[in-house]
Homo-oligomer: A and B are copies of this chain.
Amino acid sequence: MTQGKAEYVKGTLDLLILKIVALGPNHGYAIAQRLQQISKDFFQIHQGSLYPALHRLEDRGWLEAEWKDTETGRDAKFYTLTRKGRKHLEAELVNWERLTEAVALVLRTAE
């Protein structure tokens, strides 16, 4: 049944991560926190989804990683959006908009 819990991401995870990183370089753990916070707890990204997604995005050349220290003095892998990643984000934004419009068209249909 796709889940078993409550939160689904339905293929929007890449888009969301790219958007968060576009706000400024950040590390995985913090990205998940921001996502949860901004979405008012709707998105609760599990680590088993988060890290594979980040590696995926890096493999595709949309993110770049660099080890740095956090404010709290721990090692963390900071991700930055590449030029390619920014272009892809823009394309994904358009795609998402088109998708939601198309769905809205169907859902608004009465008869």
Which residues of A are in contact with B by a Cβ distance under 8 Å? 1-2, 8, 10-12, 15-16, 19-20, 23-24, 35, 38-40, 42-43, 60, 93, 95-96, 98-103, 105-107, 109-111
Besides the contacts A16-B103, A39-B105, what 15 more A-B pairs have beta carbons closer than 8 Å?
A: A1-B60, A2-B11, A10-B10, A10-B12, A11-B11, A15-B103, A16-B106, A23-B111, A24-B111, A38-B106, A39-B102, A39-B106, A42-B105, A43-B106, A100-B100
Q: List 22 A-B contacts (CB under 8 A).
A: A8-B99, A10-B99, A15-B103, A16-B103, A19-B109, A20-B106, A23-B111, A24-B111, A38-B105, A38-B106, A38-B109, A39-B102, A39-B103, A39-B105, A39-B106, A40-B105, A42-B98, A42-B105, A43-B102, A43-B106, A93-B107, A96-B107
